[in-house]
Amino acid sequence: MIIPNLKSSYKLTLLFTLVTFLTEFTSHAQQDAQYTQYMYNTVSVNPGYAGSRGQISVAALHRSQWVGLDGAPTTQTFNIHSPIGYRGVGLGLSIVNDKIGPTSETYFDIDFSYTVYTSNEGRLSFGLKGSAHLLDIRYSELNQIAPDNSLQNDIDNQFSPNVGAGVYYHTEKFYAGISVPRILETRHFKEGPAPSTAKEQMNFYFITGYVWDLNPNLKFKPTILTKIVQGAPLQLDLSANFMLSEKFILGAAYRWDAAFSGLVGFNVSNKFLIGLAYDREITELGNALYNDGSFEVILRYDFITTKGNLKSPRFF
């Protein structure tokens, strides 16, 4: 990995930090992509969400993490999901492209859900996810101080399948879900004398939120996301968002011992949402020169076909 032309102390600190992160990522506790606007991107982590919006829903997200640092993570996701003709069945397709340093991963996911009506408002969904995973590791891009003969041959499009599952419950005001998007702990090897390159770890997610109507023009929604991965610290994301006049969204978030975030959103119509987020690290990496924080943008469009009295935009 090539580090920008910095002062020696900064250069050594950043090199050590990123190499340590990459080592953890590629040899022990591989984690799923990280999102700040997870509340608008739920289907990426919980297949039970597929079809829950009641119509065809399409979303695209881009995240640039630790902007200014060479080799920092970037993530792009695209998903489309919808209920289908059979009562209670939802289907979805997700594509996730995640890059960090010399490592690139692409997931192609098919999501299936079946929903049980528990009350007039309550919906309990059971989801399954099938994944195709492609892994690239470009050792040739590393600027190795002491060249390692075991890191000479790149890995190109190494394929592995996976499966996941999730349960998701929601009403018009409340939602909660538990999921494991990737259950199989696949080991990735490269040919030659080097040991295993990466191991898929199960990522356990719990997500919940509630919408309060503070007055006819103002809604308040606190949310929680918890992610547990073996060999990595517990991730706890807390957020609070306000929606004004069914149009403007303003909020803040805190990732435990990691970052503070600001979130803004705008409902262009009852079909089209634009969301932006900015994270500022509170770790030592956040104080590093050339780290301008993390940026995230999401676009979501719902193909609403209901005529007459349209529902207001759902806040999750």
Boundaries of every domain in the chain: 46-142+151-183+199-303
CA 167/CA 116 separation, integer angstroms: 11
pLDDT at 155: 77
pLDDT at 33: 84
Half-sphere exposure for 13 (CA within 13 Å, toward CB): 14
Residue with tokens 């990466």: 198
CA 215/CA 180 separation, integer angstroms: 37
Confidence (pTM): 0.83
CA 250/CA 137 separation, integer angstroms: 39
Residues 6 or more apart whose Cβ sits within 8 Å of residue 106: 95, 96, 97, 98, 133, 134
DSSP string over 25-80: HHHT-B-PPP-S-GGG-GGGT-GGGTTTTSS-EEEEEEEE-STTSTT--EEEEEEE
How would you classify residue 51: left for phi > 0, otherwise alpha for psi between -120 and 50, otherwise beta? left
The answer to whether residues 261 and 254 touch, using CB atoms and an 8 Å cutoff, is yes
CA 88/CA 175 separation, integer angstroms: 17
The answer to whether residues 189 and 197 touch, using CB atoms and an 8 Å cutoff, is yes
- Please report, in tens digits, the pLDDT of each residue of the chain (316 residues total): 333 333 333 433 443 444 444 444 444 445 788 899 999 999 999 999 999 999 999 999 999 998 888 888 999 999 999 999 777 899 999 999 999 988 899 999 999 999 999 999 899 999 999 999 998 888 776 665 656 655 667 778 889 999 999 999 999 999 999 999 999 987 765 555 445 556 778 999 999 999 999 999 999 999 999 999 987 888 999 999 999 999 999 999 999 998 999 999 999 998 999 999 999 988 877 666 678 889 999 999 999 876 544 556 678 8
CA 104/CA 109 separation, integer angstroms: 16
Residue 130 has φ and ψ, to the nearest 5°, of: -115, 130
Which CATH code for domain 46-142+151-183+199-303? 2.40.160.40
